[in-house]
């Protein structure tokens, strides 16, 4: 195998040289080919070969022989998904450019495709999360009588599917599609609430520390330093162990504890940012003027500092949401996060994960855990794309 | 040079102090548990005499401060007490075979986790730096944009998603690597490497993105300086300008971000070890959390926190050493 890789690398080097030489000969030595470094030529060849391989794999995935088709099934889905999302994002941007207020049209005109993909995805998730009860065909905890467990997704009876359950059923016969839709409500909703709580805590204390300074700033900052010295997932797991003993005794659901624990841990990061941003604002002349006017602390924080700190805090909100969302997913995946019977993507991945091993013979069976994991990944990727674009826009980085 | 030593000692002392406070936090957090361990070990069969005797054996009748110093003193000597689950099991089976102390239980798993972290670092660091240099060299090209999208996606995906994708493509559809990392003590190095390849690749995907983006940003930041322009005007090739002229000056932030990402590996390792059933300290930690085996949870927490603080400290000291302006503070 190593021998094959070496031969392929050498072969590509020869191809790259040939490509550059041919380019020089055909175009009469234009600067584009004359000054092309060898690395760039190699990159072009590598890119073209990669593209050719993808097309070949896609055609293989459509082949009539099920053994070959199964092997490339997931690549086929990935390619199709990528193309569909790209087209949808492009259409969405087109729509945004022609519909809406002058401000939103202007925003959509300068938007890269990744950001419009992100906004579209977030809107779709929000719709699913808000209207989960109306969209989902069955209840999230509903164990349907007379329905077999582990129905294969796809809805094709010949492959063990059922048209009534397009995404199949899980290990105790609940509809996976409904659970995925309710998962949007539970997982995203809980993550959103946690992030809001973290921002309320961290933002308030951060601004207070920045405006008041002195011993309050010192005490809060040292406390945050200590909390940040423990890796967050480890600390969350430790506290969840303790909470899992307290929860039944106090009669409070474990999920509430989880929200508070993660919010407190994440508020330390928000505190750092809010304090740093706040300190930059506090030294401004208009704050001095407001102080001389005799304005109170509440006015200073909410009317003077907060409006000027919105841009960095908004970007941080997106990133923080991703971290919180991933932490909750990881905790649920490890079995100490959102508790059953609530439908949740992390728990679904853990419960259905074993089906990945059947991918070679029944690729549809393996899609169930990947759908849940993919749903998590898609949302965080979307949020990250939007945040990336926002940061790029606000910093004016155009290089 | 004396100045540097003082700064490093200051940082070390600060790190030790942080570690001490962290150990207090861990200890207090665990002691927030309701009831006590003796009762939870005995369960429903608890008679007052039995509870009292176990409390005496485990030293639970001492005040909290005494217990904290006992625990800390033990931890410094590498003695983390005995695991409740194992002790319980031993008392039921009547034999005292196998590892019952936490230290005996953790030691081999810790070595496994370190092995995984080192394999990951050996793949991820060169990969990230080369990708970062290439992205800086061909900035704003199709290659740069494609790497940007790819790395952004891999940072934002949960670890278990990446792990399952890798299992799907490299273990199930094309059986190149095993999907379960069963590792024994008497395995040869190459066998170990093969078994831990998929977890290492998953972790690589998780940490590479951040390191690569920082490398690219650090180099691009420098490209506007006049000495780079000078090198370019001399007629040097772009590759030479970046590798010989820009990279050494960009090294400080790069080393910093590498150390921080190795620290991040520590948390990432928990989920990845669970997916691949890799016998490491992360797996042990999650299992102990589920059965509430307090001494093990405490010990794992302390080890993770120590490693985290040490790596952060290294990042700090490295950035001081590589930056003359920080070496001679005003």
pLDDT band at A87 (very low <50, low <70, confident <90, very high): very high
The reported pLDDT for the residue numbered A396 is 56
Q: Which residue of A has its CA nearest to B311?
A: A229
- The torsion angle over the Cα atoms of residues A53, A58, A59 and A64, rounded to 10 degrees, is 130
pLDDT of B97 above 50 = no
A162 forms beta bridges with A165
pLDDT tens sequence across A294-317: 888 888 888 888 888 887 888 888
Mutation target to probe the B interface, by most B beta carbons within 10 A, among A183, A242, A392 is A242
SS3 B187: coil
Q: Residues B186-205: what's their mean pLDDT?
A: 85
Per CB-CB distance under 8 Å, the chain A contacts of B304 are 230-231, 234
Does any CB of chain B come closer than 8 Å to the CB of residue A280? Answer: no
pLDDT of B94 above 70 = no
CB A332 within 8 A of CB A375: no
Report percent pLDDT > 70 for chain A.
Answer: 96
Indicate yes or no: CB of B160 within 8 angstroms of CB of A333: yes
Count of structural domains within chain A:
2
pLDDT band at A91 (very low <50, low <70, confident <90, very high): very high
Per CB-CB distance under 8 Å, the chain B contacts of A231 are 263, 266-267, 304-305, 308
Residues A54 and A184 in one domain: no
- A378 in a domain, yes or no? yes
The reported pLDDT for the residue numbered A399 is 39
Residues A229 and A363 in one domain: yes
Indicate yes or no: CB of A377 within 8 angstroms of CB of B153: yes
Per CB-CB distance under 8 Å, the chain A contacts of B156 are 322, 326, 377, 380-381, 383-384
Indicate yes or no: CB of A234 within 8 angstroms of CB of B290: no
- A148 in a domain, yes or no? no
Domain boundary among A18, A41, A61: A61
The reported pLDDT for the residue numbered A347 is 86
Burial label, B141 (beta-carbon count in 10 A; 0-12, 13-18, 19+)? middle
Give the distance from residue B299's alpha carbon to the nearest chain A alpha carbon, in angstroms: 11
Closest to B211 measured CA to CA, from B300, B130, B104: B130
Q: What is the CA A324 to chain-centroid distance, rounded?
A: 11
pLDDT of A337 above 70 = yes
Indicate yes or no: CB of B158 within 8 angstroms of CB of A239: no
pLDDT band at A379 (very low <50, low <70, confident <90, very high): very high
Q: Answer with the residue of higher pLDDT: B160 or B79.
A: B160
Task: Give the CA count within 13 Å in the CB-facing half-sphere of A94.
Answer: 6
Per CB-CB distance under 8 Å, the chain B contacts of A232 are 267
Quickly list DSSP for B162-179. Answer: HHHHHHIIIIIIS-SS-S
Per CB-CB distance under 8 Å, the chain A contacts of B266 are 231, 234
- A209 in a domain, yes or no? yes
- A42 in a domain, yes or no? yes
pLDDT tens sequence across A4-56: 889 988 888 888 888 888 888 888 878 878 777 787 888 888 889 999 999 99
Residue entry with tokens 């474990």? A254
Per CB-CB distance under 8 Å, the chain A contacts of B160 are 329-330, 333, 346, 349, 353, 373
Per CB-CB distance under 8 Å, the chain B contacts of A249 are 34
Closest partner residue to A384 among B156, B164, B220, by Cβ?
B156
- A115 in a domain, yes or no? no
State the Cα–Cα distance between residues A206 and A220, nearest whole angstrom.
Answer: 9
pLDDT tens sequence across B32-77: 766 566 666 666 666 777 777 777 766 666 777 777 887 778 777 7
pLDDT band at B96 (very low <50, low <70, confident <90, very high): very low
Domain boundary among A17, A35, A61: A61
Closest partner residue to B158 among A39, A239, A376, by Cβ?
A376
pLDDT of A264 above 90 = yes
Q: Residues A250-271: what's their mean pLDDT?
A: 89
Indicate yes or no: CB of A377 within 8 angstroms of CB of B161: yes
Return residues 225-244 of A near B (CB < 8 Å). 225-227, 229-235, 237-242, 244
Per CB-CB distance under 8 Å, the chain B contacts of A74 are 168-169, 173
Give the distance from residue A134's alpha carbon to the nearest chain B alpha carbon, in angstroms: 29
pLDDT band at A265 (very low <50, low <70, confident <90, very high): very high
User: Directed axis angle between helix A310-334 and helix B159-167, to 10°?
Assistant: 50
Indicate yes or no: CB of A231 within 8 angstroms of CB of B152: no
The reported pLDDT for the residue numbered A122 is 92
pLDDT of A262 above 90 = yes
The reported pLDDT for the residue numbered B326 is 63
The residues, any chain, with a CB within 8 Å of residue B72's CB and separated by 6 or more, are B23, B27
* Own/partner long-range contacts of B191-194 (Cβ < 8 Å, ≥24 apart): B192/B115, B193/B119
pLDDT band at A121 (very low <50, low <70, confident <90, very high): very high
State the Cα–Cα distance between residues B113 and B110, nearest whole angstrom.
Answer: 5
Q: Residues A206-223: what's their mean pLDDT?
A: 87
SS3 B251: helix
Q: Which residue of B has its CA nearest to A222?
A: B18
Mutation target to probe the B interface, by most B beta carbons within 10 A, among A187, A225, A234 is A234
Q: Answer with the residue of higher pLDDT: B186 or B133.
A: B133
The reported pLDDT for the residue numbered B143 is 85
Closest partner residue to B152 among A326, A356, A385, by Cβ?
A385
Which ranges in chain B belong to alpha helices (H)?
2-30, 37-42, 48-58, 64-76, 84-93, 102-137, 142-156, 159-167, 189-195, 197-222, 226-233, 238-240, 247-276, 281-291, 294-321, 324-327
The neighbour count for residue B78, using CB atoms within 10 Å, is: 12
Closest partner residue to B266 among A231, A373, A377, by Cβ?
A231
pLDDT tens sequence across A314-331: 888 888 999 899 999 988
pLDDT of A271 above 60 = yes
Indicate yes or no: CB of B156 within 8 angstroms of CB of A322: yes
A2-16, A18-32, A115-129, B96-110: segment of lowest average pLDDT = B96-110
The reported pLDDT for the residue numbered A398 is 42
Residues A46 and A182 in one domain: no
Indicate yes or no: CB of A245 within 8 angstroms of CB of B292: yes
Under DSSP, the state recorded for A151 is: P
Per CB-CB distance under 8 Å, the chain A contacts of B32 are 242, 246
Average pLDDT over chain A, rounded to an integer: 84
Closest to A119 measured CA to CA, from A395, A388, A393, A312: A388
Residues A375 and A240 in one domain: yes
Domain boundary among A61, A77, A104: A61
Per CB-CB distance under 8 Å, the chain A contacts of B271 are 233, 330, 333-334
Report percent pLDDT > 90 for chain B.
Answer: 1
Q: Residues A355-377: what's their mean pLDDT?
A: 83
The reported pLDDT for the residue numbered A260 is 92
Closest partner residue to B173 among A71, A114, A246, by Cβ?
A71
Does any CB of chain B come closer than 8 Å to the CB of residue A127? Answer: no
The reported pLDDT for the residue numbered B37 is 62
- Containing B223, the helix (H) or strand (E) segment is none
CATH code for the domain of A270: 1.10.3720.10
Residues A46 and A188 in one domain: no
The reported pLDDT for the residue numbered B41 is 62
The reported pLDDT for the residue numbered A388 is 84
- A312 in a domain, yes or no? yes
The reported pLDDT for the residue numbered B44 is 63
The reported pLDDT for the residue numbered A168 is 75
Domain span at A265: 176-395
Indicate yes or no: CB of B289 within 8 angstroms of CB of A237: yes
Residues A390 and A263 in one domain: yes
Q: Residues B225-244: what's their mean pLDDT?
A: 87
Mutation target to probe the B interface, by most B beta carbons within 10 A, among A5, A112, A187, A229 is A229
Residue entry with tokens 């973290």? A198
pLDDT of A161 above 80 = no
- A279 in a domain, yes or no? yes
């Amino acid at each position: 195998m190593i021998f094959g890789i070496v031969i392929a690398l050498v072969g590509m080097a020869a191809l790259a040289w040939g490509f550059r030489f041919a380019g020089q000969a055909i175009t009469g030595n234009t600067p584009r080919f004359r000054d092309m470094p060898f690395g760039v030529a190699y990159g072009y060849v590598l890119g073209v070969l990669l593209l050719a391989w993808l097309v070949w794999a896609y055609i293989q995935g459509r082949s009539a022989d099920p053994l070959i088709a199964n092997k490339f099934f997931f690549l086929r889905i990935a390619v199709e998904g990528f193309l569909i999302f790209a087209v949808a994002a492009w259409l969405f941007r087109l729509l945004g450019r022609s519909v809406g207020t002058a401000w939103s049209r202007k925003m959509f005109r300068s938007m890269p495709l990744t950001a419009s993909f992100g906004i579209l995805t977030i809107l779709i998730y929000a719709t699913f999360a808000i209207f989960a009860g109306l969209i989902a065909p069955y209840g999230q905890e509903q164990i349907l009588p007379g329905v077999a467990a582990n129905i294969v997704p796809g809805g094709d009876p010949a492959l063990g599917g059922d048209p009534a359950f397009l995404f199949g059923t899980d290990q105790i016969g609940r509809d996976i599609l409904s659970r995925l839709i309710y998962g949007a409500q539970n997982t995203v909703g809980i993550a959103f609430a946690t992030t809001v709580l973290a921002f309320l805590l961290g933002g308030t204390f951060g601004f207070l520390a920045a405006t008041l300074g002195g011993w309050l700033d010192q005490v809060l900052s040292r406390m945050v330093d200590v909390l940040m010295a423990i890796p967050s997932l480890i600390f969350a797991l430790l506290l969840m162990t303790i909470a899992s003993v307290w929860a039944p005794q106090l009669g409070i659901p474990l999920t509430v504890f989880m929200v508070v624990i993660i919010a407190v841990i994440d508020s330390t990061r928000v505190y750092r940012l809010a304090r740093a941003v706040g300190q930059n604002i506090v030294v401004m002349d208009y704050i001095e003027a407001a102080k001389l006017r005799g304005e109170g602390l509440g006015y200073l924080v909410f009317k003077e500092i907060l409006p000027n700190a919105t841009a960095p805090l908004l970007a941080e909100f997106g990133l923080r949401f991703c971290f919180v969302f991933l932490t909750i997913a990881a905790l649920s995946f490890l079995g100490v996060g959102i508790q059953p019977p609530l439908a949740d993507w992390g728990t679904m991945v853990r419960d259905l994960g074993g089906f990945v091993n059947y991918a070679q013979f029944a690729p549809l069976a393996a899609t169930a855990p990947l759908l849940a994991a993919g749903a998590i990944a898609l949302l965080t990727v979307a949020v990250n794309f939007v945040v990336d674009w926002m940061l790029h826009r606000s910093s004016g980085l155009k290089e | 040079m004396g100045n540097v030593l003082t700064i490093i000692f200051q940082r070390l002392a600060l790190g030790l102090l942080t570690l001490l406070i962290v150990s207090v936090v861990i200890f207090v957090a665990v002691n927030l548990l309701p009831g006590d361990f003796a009762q939870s070990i005995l369960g429903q069969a608890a008679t007052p005499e039995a509870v009292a005797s176990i409390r005496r054996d485990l030293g639970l009748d001492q005040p909290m401060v005494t217990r904290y110093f006992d625990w800390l003193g033990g931890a410094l000597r590498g003695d983390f007490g005995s695991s409740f689950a194992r002790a319980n099991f031993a008392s039921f089976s009547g034999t005292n075979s196998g590892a019952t102390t936490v230290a005996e239980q953790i030691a081999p798993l810790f070595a496994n986790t370190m092995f995984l972290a080192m394999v990951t670092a050996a793949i991820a660091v060169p990969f990230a730096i080369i990708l970062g240099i290439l992205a800086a060299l061909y900035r704003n090209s199709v290659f740069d944009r494609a790497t940007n999208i790819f790395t952004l996606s891999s940072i934002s995906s949960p670890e278990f998603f990446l792990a399952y994708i890798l299992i799907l493509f490299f273990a199930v559809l094309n059986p190149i690597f095993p999907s379960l990392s069963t590792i024994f003590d008497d395995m040869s190095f190459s066998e170990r490497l093969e078994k831990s390849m998929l977890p290492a690749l998953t972790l690589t995907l998780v940490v590479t993105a951040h390191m690569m983006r920082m490398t690219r940003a650090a180099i691009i930041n420098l490209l506007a300086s006049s000495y780079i322009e000078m090198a370019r005007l001399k007629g040097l090739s772009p590759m030479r300008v970046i590798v010989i002229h820009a990279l050494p000056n960009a090294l400080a932030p790069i080393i910093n971000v590498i150390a921080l990402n190795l620290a991040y590996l520590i948390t990432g390792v928990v989920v990845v070890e669970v997916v691949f059933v890799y016998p490491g300290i992360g797996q042990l930690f999650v299992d102990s959390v589920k059965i509430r085996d307090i001494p093990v949870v405490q010990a794992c927490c302390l080890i993770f926190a120590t490693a985290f603080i040490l790596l952060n400290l290294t990042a700090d000291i490295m950035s001081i050493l590589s930056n003359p302006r920080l070496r001679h503070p005003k």
